Structure 1
């Protein structure tokens, strides 16, 4: 891989992918809507070409991806835009890959699996999405697989990390940096899974370097499941014993959503993930890449806080 384009480069995982790729000497086209944010994140960096553009515009995507060996689809659309634009953008990215003879690596979530029933999910687990967003993600998966483009699809749990602003952990940290108490979405004693964006990007880029990874879905778990109580203890150690969490249940989330914007109301149907955790098996990934080193929650949260304070 000599050159790659990252669609959604200004988002949390997109940013991590750009940084991982350039650390390996890969030339990167950073593609996203906002020129100002792209410049703030990547301006002056060697091996990064900033290319502001709209993924709903086929011509812009095709032009920007010329010469790329692989396109990383890391675009994180607001929930309220999924119904009308997710399939359009996915189709445009597939077309750009076809026109430029490029491969495709897709950042996906766990929504298409639906409820896990308490079992660790493997890539062979049947997908039975029961939410509108889960059904859309499954439709996206099928569209990619029906195309002629060699593609790999990575399923990730919830993200956290530098520049990952549209995440539950960021919501919590943002409050704690200015207040003594912060909301944590989900119960205090249910173990859930989060992945540090740097770890996720490293695994995804490594997969993209393996010919045999294409044509497959890959589950990429975090270091380990963690409870809200355990997150609270980490934050007390890092920010002070006077800091603490209160826990936002699904019913509380529903009340907040009544008065919040459309994005929060759209997030309501996904709250099953916080109370009935979906845990991924990394067995297939380890079988190809071997055992990987993971960033501990203690270190990952410390690095995220440091980035937020910059």
Structure 2
């Protein structure tokens, strides 16, 4: 039996990094996580002899390089608040690419594989389902930055500096997803307070449950590793996969499903576009949110047929169970008794 690959996860205390880490540990893969707050990481993850927690900053190139010396995968799940994207996302991505370079300590010859959770920002306000080979057409500054980050990764893979698995995801929700798009919704469902949404709560919206996203990502990593070990299939240096999760008929309907779980009656509070123009005068994060409002005025979808065909045994978590588990996690960890 082959020894399982080693993985370094950056961004493990965020929603997606947390889910991927849990899925890898469930496979008995050794994982090292680099975190800025050890206490937060310790509280999130149960004691596991396969998990190594290292405190530090992913902007520290030397630290990332040292931790990546003998790993086979680097999960680049680092994210920052919108107004900190520019500069920080480029620099940390360069650090990850450099850390993935070929080294004799790795299990297999050649560079490590970078696993990069992507999103839909690259494609702007498209009315066509986004395929893995869809051409970028960003309509925002942050969308253009995501295009540039993926181009950096692809150029590095083409040059033999790394391998890359990009897994594109839509908006996400689940345990340990605490961004301002989803946390107030869960709080409202649990307390009977208004459940907020942006611009339009009555159109379809694609959302992915993070444990499912973590499982899909781990399965793609597993498949990639098996192919490299056995050379059963040609292993591309750069590969893009999509996973779209669930397209809800409307947020209003989905919020109603949450209320059925909690037994609370909440209203749906829709924040209009003009409000963000006003808030943006005083708040840099709101200025950045304003340019992304097209995502809530229209339905943007990922086409994930190729991914589901490649993972025929994968089954997403039933919605009732996903809602129940997420609401329980949020209630136990985020609501004051």
Query: 2:192, 2:264 within 8 Å by CA — same for their partners in 1?
Result: no
CA offset at residue 200 of structure 1? 0.5
CA offset at residue 136 of structure 1? 0.4
1:301 aligned residue? 323
SS of 2:200's partner is coil
- Out of 199, 209, 214, which is 1:196 matched to? 209
Distance 1:167 1:219, change over 3 A: farther
- Counterparts of 1:46 and 1:243, CA distance in 2: 43
1:289 aligned residue? 311
Query: 2:79, 2:89 within 8 Å by CA — same for their partners in 1?
Result: no
Equivalences for residues 46-195 of structure 1 within 5 A: 46-98=49-101, 100=103, 101-116=111-126, 118-147=127-156, 148=160, 149-166=162-179, 168-195=181-208
TM-score if structure 1 supplies the norm length? 0.93
TM-score if structure 2 supplies the norm length? 0.86
Large movers: runs of 4+ above 6 Å: none
Alpha-carbon RMSD across the aligned residues, in angstroms, is 1.8
Q: Which runs of 5+ in 1 are unaligned?
A: none
SS of 1:15's partner is helix
Equivalences for residues 261-272 of structure 1 within 5 A: 261-272=283-294
- Out of 239, 247, 271, which is 1:248 matched to? 271
- Counterparts of 2:72 and 2:212, CA distance in 1: 22
1:277 aligned residue? 299
Query: 2:77, 2:116 within 8 Å by CA — same for their partners in 1?
Result: yes
**Highest Rg: 1 or 2?**
2
Higher mean C-alpha deviation, range 5-14 or range 212-221: 212-221
Q: Which runs of 5+ in 2 are unaligned?
A: 104-110, 225-234, 333-337
Between the two proteins, the alignment pairs up a number of residues equal to: 308
